[in-house]
Structure 1
């Protein structure tokens, strides 16, 4: 899967240390083409950079997996390893343990991240299921939105074609996170200044129509539950993860 390994354009890269995603072991992690910094250990406590990749047909990983010539569901705990760790297929279908903060998961090696074609030599290229299991939070900008008829949100919600009360814990996500509706009616954890709330995804914040690609567009109920000072309502920095 070499095509997913190139670094994003520098103009699209966030500052290297932001919110709770701070440098601890000088490890770089690419998340949805955005650069963050994490502490990850893998392969007998070796430091690694964990990146996100699709192993499905038509996904950003390109061709089928090297180990078996097949595509795999992104909902399974699987990874590709840099050429040196892939070791000519010696780790195919074996499990590695990946540690992030206090959490760890075991993932199966199914592919090579080809270091002769641009992949760095310290990569653990993981499915979204691995990221979800490790509960790696994403930096985001939270904005406020009305989901009611006649409100600032405009039309009905994309997930169900309905309007929703602003007194419910609901959000719209930027197009890349909305992911074609894959997160519709699922819950996400939103973290702000030591507080966390769960909110349901009901709509898309359309990035083809001006919405930035890091937006969690939340109802007033979310802002209230997070105890964001009223003077800061409108836009603030948060992190989020799938619940």
Structure 2
């Protein structure tokens, strides 16, 4: 009876050890980016992803390098104000060539106002891609 338990334990450990590693996309979702959040107005114009949104839509513009020619259009992000801990979800819909450094993002007016009044202008942010 004791050897049967050891064999079962060995088989369980072997199956865990031989599990396939996470895909690169899965690993990307775990990366937390940090920077500064600002806000922008759509002004009835399509964003870099090609769609027109209202200023009340919860959308995000990624810094040019992270925008990566639109590869993340339509992906959602969980955004955290690192000063207050408040979080919200936004959808990538635009590029932000004026964002100051990797990790900085531009939020629609409606999304920014979940965190702070627009008169504040900026706040420290962390964010990560959500699972698709």
TM-score, normalised on structure 1? 0.41
State how 1:66-105 maps to structure 2 within 5 Å.
Answer: none
Separation in structure 2 between the aligned mates of residue 230 and residue 142 of structure 1, nearest angstrom:
11
Tell me which residue corresponds to 1:238: 125
Paired residues of 2:49 and 2:94 also in contact (CA < 8 A): yes
State how 1:1-243 maps to structure 2 within 5 Å.
Answer: 107=21, 127-132=24-29, 135-149=30-44, 155-160=45-50, 162-192=51-81, 193-206=84-97, 210-214=98-102, 215-226=104-115, 228-232=116-120, 234-243=121-130
- Which sections of structure 1, spanning at least 5 residues, go unmatched? 1-94, 98-105, 109-125, 150-154
**Larger Rg, first or second structure (1 or 2):** 2
* Greater strand proportion: 1
Separation in structure 1 between the aligned mates of residue 21 and residue 28 of structure 2, nearest angstrom:
11
Superposed structure 1 runs of 4+ greater than 2 Å apart:
126-129, 210-215
Question: Root-mean-square deviation (CA), in Å?
Answer: 2.6
1:129 shift after superposition: 2.8
Paired residues of 1:191 and 1:240 also in contact (CA < 8 A): yes
* Greater helix proportion: 2
- Which sections of structure 2, spanning at least 5 residues, go unmatched? 1-16
Separation in structure 1 between the aligned mates of residue 68 and residue 89 of structure 2, nearest angstrom:
19
1:156 shift after superposition: 2.5
Separation in structure 1 between the aligned mates of residue 31 and residue 94 of structure 2, nearest angstrom:
22
